[in-house]
Structure 1
């Protein structure tokens, strides 16, 4: 085996164990926290209010980077004559953040990653049965901006802040979407999943084709618009939805589009495809929508996640 390579990945330089250079007095505490980092997910409740990039666990590649941030803190902590993470106070963490940004000149993004690593260390420590007592980082309650260096010579952000007059209504409607509309949206998501599951298992049968022809014939005879779904800047026949209603297969629906007697009508489909009616959410006592359409479900699910 060549020097500097691993047995299973020839030619790849082996990483140094980040714990080797951790001060001896802090090594066992950090070793335990490293074990938790690899084997124990954070409580899901910890993620409430955190940015979307936060996860209960980190990827294997991020384990090394996270422990490296911990190691750097421990080296700084040891230089101050401390022998346990449990001795750390919020004032000490403020001093460390200042040390990174001012003394060492670490850029804003680098300090942000270091503080995030310390936040994860506190979360892992405080949620396990044998905590070291590492203190809660003050930036969790105070916000991180005061602990980060400026992101540009003009300051951390030269963009004008969003005014309260704009943010107020946005927040109000985000809350309304979550509190008032979520039940309807989630029910529509479930219904669409059921539709897709059923149609995916449907095979072409003479009975399904007969039911499809009868359904299409009745709609066209009544002059009713055929169910459609939005697709970018145009609409098209909601084939999956029609297959679900009739028991036909999707291929049978498309065969009617290409070869059936109503081809021109089918290609011009522009009618609704409701999958949920009688909605419970209201605005000023009036239902917020008449129904949720098949083609709306994906967008509404995204809006709900964004509002949450």
Structure 2
């Protein structure tokens, strides 16, 4: 089937001083009159990024040939102003930046073949689609590129140069859509198999219910050490008091991880000077002198050196009747925090119904019962993998 290009009235020119974010809410600290204007070669979208995290977003039209710049600007001005044709949906600020990359790719592809958008034929659209599919993108990635190309048809009344036919009417585009159906709002990621998800949720619940208190207590102790004020009027007195405490408890001095003192080799442990300084409430360089080092070396000869820098917190959670860990190192707190965060997300995603199991016989209730009952992990070491 041959599609003849429609006659579309030439769009009204956009003034160079037009504010491109005038149709969007902006951050409270931003001033609209200081935001990007249509004539700028790069438009900053950051003032319209309303999430708490600060993210720099911009549309850089300078990478496009001059012949394509006005077409690209007209399209994205319409998107930002939410001037959407019938049947099109407005898109968010972050999606606008994503579609800009997709549109730029197609514009450069057509320009490399010496064609304006109006000169792009159906065969050209088919060739571009084959190239997209050949990139082995995800389904959602191909869909983004397909939608970006179609925008150059859907927004034709806003553009000085536009496609002459609807790409979605091409047989090859339709065939791909039939072979890759997508239901609106459907998560296309395959479910994790239930024989994998069951043990994963079991351990996630174990972390949340049992191990979390120990991890949070370790984090609180680490934070208190980092914020500890000086324990004596001068560093030498603070160090003597600290080493006397180690002698009183007959506790070996803490050992530093390999990255604290590069060049040292194991198995011989070396004293963790930075950690001792934190315990005394002073910066490390105050102990990096002859007298403090002599006191530390004497204590190391008397007490020995540990294999790590353990925190004082005593593990409360039990695994097979014994503590699930002997102790937590000062340097391992962040790793255990990440494991706890991941466990929380696994529990939330499954038990809130965000991803309902495919089989009704394997429910969140059964998983929780397995965790509470006999489906306990058998290995103590597995708890910290």
Larger radius of gyration: 2
**TM-score of the superposition, structure 2-length normalised?**
0.41
**TM-score of the superposition, structure 1-length normalised?**
0.49
